[in-house]
Amino acid sequence: MKYVFSYVTTEGAVRKINQDSLFIVTAKYKDDEIFFGAVCDGVGGLSGGEKASGYVCKRINAWFTEDFSELMSSGASILKIRKSLDDRLHQLSDNINAYAEKKNSDMATTFTSLLVIPQMRHILIAHVGDSRLYRIDDEEIKLMTSDHSVVAQEVRNGIITEEMAENDPRQNQLTNCIGAGLEDTSYDYSIADISEGSCYMLCSDGFRKKISSDEIQEYLAPSNNKDEKTITYNLECLKNKVMKRGEKDNITALMVKLC
Amino acid sequence: MASVSIKVVYQNETFLQAGIKKKVQISEDQLKFINRNRNKGFLTVNWEKTGSKNLLKYKVSNMTALSEYVKQNLTQEKYFELIRQIQRLMEFASENNLNYDHLVLTDPKHVYYDIEKKKIGVAYLPVLSRDYKCANVVKFLAKLHKYANITVTDQGVMQKYVFFLNDYLKTKKSSVLTHNHLYNLLHEVLEVSLGTPSQIAAEESGQTPADSSKTAAVGADNDHTIVVSGGKKAECPAYLKDENNREFAINHFPFTIGRKADNDLALTDKGTVSKLHAVITFENGTFYIEDKDSSNGTFLNNFAENSQRVIKEKLNSGDVIYIYNIPYVFTVNSADNATVVVGDNANRKKSESKNNKSKNIAYLVNSSSNEKVPIFVYPFTCSEISGIVIGRENSRDRHSIYIENISCSSLSVEGSDIAEGSRESIFSGCNFLYHGIPFTFFEEN
């Protein structure tokens, strides 16, 4: 399995600080390459948001190089890998909560990650918050995560419609994330078969709120993204479009094409 | 020839989207007609006009592209039943003066299949223009055959069929394959057995539209007469129950209640009820009860002369509506029996999705037969997986879904064996083997 990937991130037109974080890491194992990428959208006043998102990225990256590689070499199943990642994420959540309490501040972050394990022919998605993962093919674009936000929850429950959701003032209210003093919480995981030739795009809410999924697909379809340069170019194009349309939030997106 | 762009889009639900020129006139009659006839095999469609295009969005949530579906191992009988469904749809289109060419039969990728209802769904372009040509049935069948993975039970029949397709493709490029041609092929040339008439009747009547008990009694599609017990209630989004436990299906909106006989719920012998007393509406996914300036008032959940009258109030399942002093329990149909909702009304579709989403928390898919087993509550078990339980547990600060082997001699999850008495955490996408039968677990949302 080969990966072509790139990313775009900016504090945006209005905010002074970029609270989004991301990482991409690949590792060779038994003649094939594993891909791991994630996007975090930090939430919280002062420097809380970027601290939380940066911390989670750094620590999860460490999980990949330490725990995950050990699990792989011991022949662990995908269930064990998921459990290990889940334990680590909860541990990070506890750490963030403890730190925030000490500093008397708000700290939280969303987290959406994609782990591609060709040896198992699986991808593992871990997700919490309102950042998203899309799978993009030439024919379709599919949202692989569901937003943990008040508005999305109400749409799912049929209380409000999607059109109403777009203009709802509660856009920024999350129902689940890492940190924020949340204790009784669980994160979303799913596995799926590897879809060769597809693009996977992870993004913060700032990237996708002002553009339609059709537009995303138009720019990010696999046939339009042959190499790293074109991926970067297309992500930049979308980013500029989003900013032109008045997005105030931080904007981050990461895309990988599996080939 | 005008072009139509077809693609799959995701906007909280999955749609097959056909983009056609802005200036093309959409026939609203046809649009309504196809939405009324979803049970015949048309995909329900919404029409949106944007600045540059007409967008026709066909709802394909919970359906599988036919191209994908036929990749599963299919029996020869099932395969021909699919083709038979296409033939019947074409026949129906022809009988109702719909243009063949507007059936989107270009590619099996654009035709959908509902595994639960065992029904094909074809998109139809409800346009007045004659410029569109989306159906090339022979090419479509040839492509379908290319994708398909069929367990051949009668080699002779299969060979004849393939020969027919090739022959048609090579020699009769310009001629159109009509429903009659296809019928003759299936029945006379191949002598394909497609189930007994009663089986077919039962299958079709299961899809009978909810909107009237009359239809069910008179005969669903002029071919077969069958009355489906409990159909009326089962197929409506909600119903009212009176003190004597009589049920009144709410199958369209606004649903009127009053003393005059033409009301949906007519209380002709009740002097305290106004001619048009109240209506039940469905807006943006929510049911409402609205008083229509009645003399004596409408009340919700509590009746007293001096309690507050309803002007317009949100309804929840289980609420008691008092038409002055006569109580009716309002109940939203749960997803398990509201499987068929007729799509001539956008509101009703929303109620369907609402029901599905709030009630159905997860499901299992039998990967070999593609059957879908809905999970409504934890802990869950069913005849398909007897001896194992899928449940939800809370430990310390989180909950997780587990699969537990109670008394099953052979269970493995993602390659790891689960012994009797032990359990394993699972999550969306996890595969497990139950007595060698592959299942995949999916969480909704």
What ipTM was assigned to the predicted interfaces of this complex? 0.74
With a CB cutoff of 8 Å and minimum separation 6, the contacts of A113 are A36, A37, A38, A39, A60, A125, A126, A127, A202
Tokens linked to B420 = 């009797």
pLDDT at residue B342, as a whole number: 24
Q: Write down the pLDDT at residue B328.
A: 86
- Please indicate whether, in this complex, the C-beta atoms of B9 and A189 are within 8 angstroms of each other: no
Whether residue A213 and residue B9 make contact (CB cut-off 8 A), yes or no, is: yes
pLDDT digits (tens, 9 = 90+) for B331-383: 887 543 222 222 233 333 333 333 433 356 788 888 888 888 888 777 787 77
User: What distance in Å separates the CA atoms of residue A81 and residue A71, rounded to the nearest whole number?
Assistant: 7
pLDDT, position B336? 32
Q: What is the pLDDT of residue A3?
A: 92
CB atoms A156 and B357 under 8 Å = yes
The chain B residue lying nearest A148, using CA atoms, is B445
**A201 has a chain B CB within 8 A of its CB:** no
What is the maximal distance between C-alpha atoms in chain A? 50
Residues 6+ positions from B440 with CB-CB distance below 8 Å: B364, B365, B367, B429, B430, B431, B432
pLDDT of residue B22: 83
Within 8 A by CB and 6+ apart from B288, the residues are B280, B281, B282, B312, B313, B314, B315
Higher pLDDT, B52 or A118: A118
Instruction: Give the residue from B81, B88, B86, B99 showing the smallest Cα distance to B27.
Output: B99
Compare A183 and B60 and report the one with higher pLDDT: B60
Q: Do the domains spanning B238-332 and B362-443 agree at the CATH topology level?
A: yes
Is the per-residue pLDDT at B192 higher than 80?
A: no
pLDDT the model gives residue A114 = 94
Q: Residue B429: which of A90, A155, A190 has the nearest Cβ? A: A190
Which chain B residue has the Cα nearest residue A123?
A: B429
pLDDT digits (tens, 9 = 90+) for B262-296: 888 888 888 888 999 999 988 877 889 999 988 88
Whether B443 sits inside 8 A of A155 (CB atoms) is no
Domain B5-189 -> CATH class: mainly alpha
Residue of A nearest to B349 (CA): A158
Q: What average pLDDT score do residues A242-252 get?
A: 87
For residue range B421-434, list pLDDT tens digits in order: 888 888 888 889 88
A69-97 pLDDT, tens digit per residue, is 989 889 888 888 998 998 899 888 888 88
- Chain A residues with CB-CB distance to B284 below 8 A: 160-161, 164
Please check whether residue A160 touches B, CB under 8 A: yes
Q: How far apart are CA B376 and CA B374, in angstroms?
A: 6
Supply the pLDDT for residue A187: 87
Which pLDDT band, with edges at 50, 70 and 90, does B397 fall under? low
Q: Determine which of B62, B414, B416 to mutate to test the interface with A (most A C-beta atoms within 10 Å).
A: B414
Q: Does the pLDDT value for residue B225 go beyond 70? A: no
Using a CB–CB cutoff of 8 Å, tell me whether B413 touches chain A.
yes
Contacting residues of A for B429, CB less than 8 Å apart:
190-192
Q: A65 at the B interface (CB within 8 A)?
A: no
Give the global pTM. Answer: 0.50
Q: How confident is the model at residue B73 (pLDDT cuts 50, 70, 90)?
A: confident
Give the confidence band of B398 by pLDDT, cuts at 50, 70, 90: low
B174 or A78, which is more confident: A78
The pLDDT of residue B228 is 24
> Which residues in B lie closer than 8 A to residue A185 (C-beta atoms)?
397-398
A104 or A256: which leads in pLDDT:
A256
By the 8 A CB rule, do B390 and B401 touch? Answer: yes
Q: Which of helix, strand or coil describes residue B303?
A: coil
Mean pLDDT, range B146-167, rounded to an integer: 80
CATH superfamily ID and name for A3-258: PPM-type phosphatase domain (3.60.40.10)
Chain A residue whose CA is closest to B402: A79
What confidence tens digit (pLDDT) does each residue in A187-242 have? 889 999 998 889 999 999 889 888 888 899 999 999 988 899 999 999 999 999 89
Tell whether B11 lies on the interface with A, counting CB pairs under 8 A.
Answer: yes
Domain with residues B362-443, CATH architecture: Sandwich (2.60)
Hey, is the C-beta of B425 within 8 angstroms of any chain A C-beta? Answer: yes
As a whole number, the mean pLDDT across chain B is: 76
Predicted confidence (pLDDT) at residue B253 exceeds the cutoff of 70: yes
Q: Which of these ranges, A152-166, A225-239, B55-69, has the smallest mean pLDDT?
A: A152-166
Residue A190: partners with Cβ closer than 8 Å, 6 or more residues away: A124, A125, A144, B427, B428, B429, B443
Give the three-class secondary structure for B210.
coil
The predicted structure's pLDDT at residue A16: 78
Look at A192 and B429 and tell me if their CB atoms are within 8 Å: yes
Question: What is the percent of chain A with per-residue pLDDT over 70, rounded to a whole number?
Answer: 98
Q: Which of B442, B409, B408, B410 is nearest to B427 (CA)?
A: B442
Assess B351–A contact: CB distance below 8 Å, yes or no.
yes
Contact B11 A192 (CB under 8 A): no
Contacts A192 to B, Cβ<8 Å:
429
Looking at the partner chain, which of B109, B357, B430 has a beta carbon nearest the beta carbon of A157? B357
**Per-domain residue ranges of chain A:** 3-258
Specify the higher pLDDT residue, A21 or B357. Answer: A21
Looking at residue A64, what is its pLDDT?
92
Q: For residue A45, what pLDDT is reported?
A: 59
**The pLDDT value given to residue A126:** 93
Q: Are A259 and A2 in contact (CB under 8 A)?
A: yes
Quick check: A186 contacting B, CB < 8 Å?
Answer: yes
User: Does the CB of A87 have a partner CB in chain B at under 8 Å?
Assistant: no
Backbone angles phi, psi at B397, to 5 degrees: -115, 15
Q: Where are the domains of chain B?
A: 5-189, 238-332, 362-443
Whether domain B238-332 has CATH 2.170.120.12: the reply is: no
User: How far is Cα B135 from Cα B177, in angstroms, rounded to an integer?
Assistant: 10
Express as a percent the part of chain B with pLDDT over 90: 4
Could you tell me how many CB contacts below 8 A there are between chain A and chain B? 86
Q: How far apart are CA B164 and CA B185, in angstroms?
A: 9
> pLDDT tens digits for B297-322?
898 877 766 678 888 888 887 788 88
